[in-house]
Amino acid sequence: MFLRIYQHLLPNARAWRLTTEKQLRQFFEGLTDLPLDIRVFFDIVWLDIFPDTTRELDTWETQFALPNTSMSEQARRDRLDAVWKALGGQSPRYIQDTLQEAGFDVFVHEWWELPITEPPVVRNPFTFLNDGTSTIKYVMGDGTLEANDGNPEANDGASLDPTGFVLVNKFFVREQIGDGAEAMNDGSLEAQDGGGFNIYRLKRYLLPADTTKWPYFLYIGGQTFPNHAIVSASRKNEFETLCLKICPTQQWLGMLIDYA
């Protein structure tokens, strides 16, 4: 093929015709080896975009945030193939199906109250989620399940702290500690003169008091809202990473999840 390309590039004259056994032909035949090597190289590069043939398995696993475990190479390729074939999407049904196919018995719920009205009634995230800082706005009410006789929450003046949490990302930030922290206890190495250390924690996000932000919450929990779903504690990081990966970036995730 490359010899024919050279023939088309040469001048249209008898002296440049590549006839049989001519030394000029032998010269150009020798030049065909280099582009053949280039062709083979590009063919191999093309095969790198397929899970079964790629030479860059580690690189693709990093790209798809797949943990490097003690799996066999074929199992790693099969796992990569499954992720690669995912069509993608941001509908609640797609997100729910993807999480369930990954082995998590969870359900995705929208930001509006049911039954839906026109305009929809926005769910108050303070009712279901606890960011650890914001004032709890869900106060015990007559007739609620928690108000049953004998429940601790039913005591006069009591309030029920929601047990859900908000998931925005998994960024770690350096955090200073103060008086009362465990590391500041008398006798600990860090509390000695000249001691010191860095503490890194997941960045915390406060629930927005601005009601116009509440429709940007997507809730993940049990089949019936606002029941919690149970996820294995050993898969906590995998589960949360997958949620952040497939959910729209403009959404804050209200996690109605118990890890056990």
Q: Please name which of 140, 139, 113 lies closest in space to residue 124, comparing C-alpha atoms.
A: 113
Instruction: Find the angle CA(16)-CA(21)-CA(25) to the nearest 5 degrees.
Output: 40
Based on the fold, state whether residues 107 and 209 are members of the same structural domain.
yes
Based on the fold, state whether residues 152 and 222 are members of the same structural domain.
yes
**Which of 25, 55, 84 is the last residue before a domain boundary?**
84
CA atoms within 13 A on the CB side of 90: 8
Based on the fold, state whether residues 17 and 30 are members of the same structural domain.
yes
Domain of residue 180, residue span: 172-203
Based on the fold, state whether residues 11 and 72 are members of the same structural domain.
yes
**Which of 63, 84, 105 is the last residue before a domain boundary?**
84
How many domains are there within the chain?
Answer: 3
Q: What pTM did the predictor assign?
A: 0.57
Percentage above 70 pLDDT, the chain: 69
pLDDT tens digits, 153-212? 555 555 567 889 999 988 777 766 666 566 566 666 555 555 555 667 788 889 999 999
